[in-house]
């Protein structure tokens, strides 16, 4: 189930959304070497968020392998800046493409509800909340966390609060059968959030790297709550599909899109 577009118009040019995408792409090419080693693993070690290092719950000198021949070595410094830098690092091509696509689909309408500056602050706060969520899940983890998906989870949490009835068009793969359907945002994003919770509980007993499910959960919840502080009523009043009482999405009911 992959979103390809929504039926949601926007009125402001989403400069901050464009800027965030640009910063992630620049970081991928300049700091992470297009995903080539050893630049990729080195950037993950230096700029990823490692709970055990941030909280000093791992002894200095502890080594954790993150690449074919690359080890992250824990230091005795907290490196608090990684709460921010980890939001712009990624682990592979599909990781960054998927994250930037989701931000492209949902970011413009959330920015439209807040204005540019407020959206920038909102995005960073959601990313920090996502990092805290992953830290609390395993305070002694030596595995660096990277990716914008926690902050983007916050954008998705805000979107479902603001525009629950708007329809999102999804590309569906069922074996060799491929189709496109349109479903309400509350269904698509609610289903995504449920998968993150289930994945998070499933990951508690696992060791090693993987998906930072609790970062997604933390970001989503932060976004759903913070949007009530950051939204600007004057910007939303002109929006035809805001809230539960406004007009339904132009797609109408669930249906296959020809």
The CATH number linked to 155 is 1.20.1540.10
**Residue 257 pLDDT more than 50?**
no
Tokens of 58: 């791992």
What is the spatial distance between Cα 9 and Cα 250, in angstroms, rounded to a whole number? 11
Kindly list the distances between the CA atom of residue 193 and the CA atoms of 49, 77, 122, 156, 188, in Å, as whole numbers in the listed order: 22, 34, 19, 9, 9
User: Is the residue at 99 inside a domain?
Assistant: yes
pLDDT tens across 119-157, in order?
A: 999 999 999 999 999 999 889 888 899 999 999 999 999
Strand-strand pairing, 71-73 and 63-65: antiparallel
Please name the residue that has the structure tokens 């998070």.
Answer: 200
pLDDT tens across 102-125, in order?
A: 999 999 999 999 999 999 999 999
Predicted confidence band of residue 190 (pLDDT cuts 50, 70, 90) = very high
User: Is the residue at 73 inside a domain?
Assistant: no
Residue scoring higher pLDDT (82 or 204): 82
Mean pLDDT of 198-210: 71
DSSP 121: H
Q: Whats the size of the chain, residue-wise?
A: 258
User: What three-state secondary structure class fits 81?
Assistant: coil
Inter-residue contact 55 to 145 (CB < 8 Å): no
User: Is the residue at 210 inside a domain?
Assistant: yes
DSSP string, 84-114: HHGGG--SSHHHHHHHHHHHHHHHHHHHHHH
As beta bridge partners, residue 72 has: 64
Inter-residue contact 12 to 116 (CB < 8 Å): yes
User: Is the residue at 60 inside a domain?
Assistant: no
Inter-residue contact 140 to 157 (CB < 8 Å): no
User: Is the residue at 59 inside a domain?
Assistant: no
- Residue 209: predicted pLDDT: 58
What is the spatial distance between Cα 4 and Cα 102, in angstroms, rounded to a whole number? 9
pLDDT tens across 158-188, in order?
A: 999 999 999 999 998 887 888 899 999 999 9
Domain total in the chain: 1
Degrees, nearest 5: CA angle 90-92-98: 80
- Residue 252: predicted pLDDT: 56
pTM above 0.85, yes or no: yes
Degrees, nearest 5: CA angle 96-100-106: 150
- Residue 251: predicted pLDDT: 66
Percent of the chain with pLDDT over 90: 67
User: Is the residue at 193 inside a domain?
Assistant: yes
Q: In this predicted structure, which of 14-23, 229-238, 246-255 has the lowest mean pLDDT?
A: 246-255
- Residue 241: predicted pLDDT: 85
User: Which range of residues forms the domain containing residue 218?
Assistant: 2-28+81-256
Mean pLDDT of 46-50: 93
Tokens of 99: 């994250």
User: Is the residue at 120 inside a domain?
Assistant: yes
pLDDT tens across 55-105, in order?
A: 988 888 888 877 777 788 888 887 899 999 999 999 999 999 999 999 999
Tokens of 98: 């998927």
As beta bridge partners, residue 65 has: 71
User: Is the residue at 67 inside a domain?
Assistant: no
């Amino acid at each position: 189930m992959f979103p390809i577009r929504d039926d949601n118009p926007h009125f402001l040019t989403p400069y901050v959304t464009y800027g965030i995408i640009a910063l992630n792409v620049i970081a991928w090419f300049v700091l992470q070497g297009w995903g080539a080693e050893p630049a990729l693993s080195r950037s993950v070690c230096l700029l990823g968020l490692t709970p055990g290092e941030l909280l000093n719950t791992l002894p200095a000198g502890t080594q954790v392998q993150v690449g074919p021949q690359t080890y992250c070595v824990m230091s005795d410094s907290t490196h608090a800046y990684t709460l921010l830098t980890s939001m712009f690092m990624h682990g592979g091509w599909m990781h960054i493409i998927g994250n930037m696509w989701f931000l492209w689909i949902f970011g413009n309408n959330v920015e439209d509800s807040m204005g540019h500056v407020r959206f920038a602050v909102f995005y960073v706060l959601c990313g920090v909340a996502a990092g805290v969520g992953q830290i609390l899940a395993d305070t002694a983890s030596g595995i660096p966390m990277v990716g914008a998906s926690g902050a983007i989870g916050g954008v998705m949490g805000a979107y479902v609060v603001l525009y629950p009835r708007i329809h999102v068009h999804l590309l569906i793969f069922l074996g060799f059968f491929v189709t496109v359907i349109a479903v309400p945002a509350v269904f698509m994003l609610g289903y995504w959030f449920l998968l993150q919770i289930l994945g998070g509980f499933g990951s508690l007993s696992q060791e090693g790297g993987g998906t930072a499910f609790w970062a997604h959960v933390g970001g989503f919840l932060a976004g759903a709550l913070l949007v009530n502080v950051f939204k600007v009523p004057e910007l939303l009043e002109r929006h035809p599909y805001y809230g539960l009482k406004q007009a339904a999405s132009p797609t109408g009911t669930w249906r296959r899109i020809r």
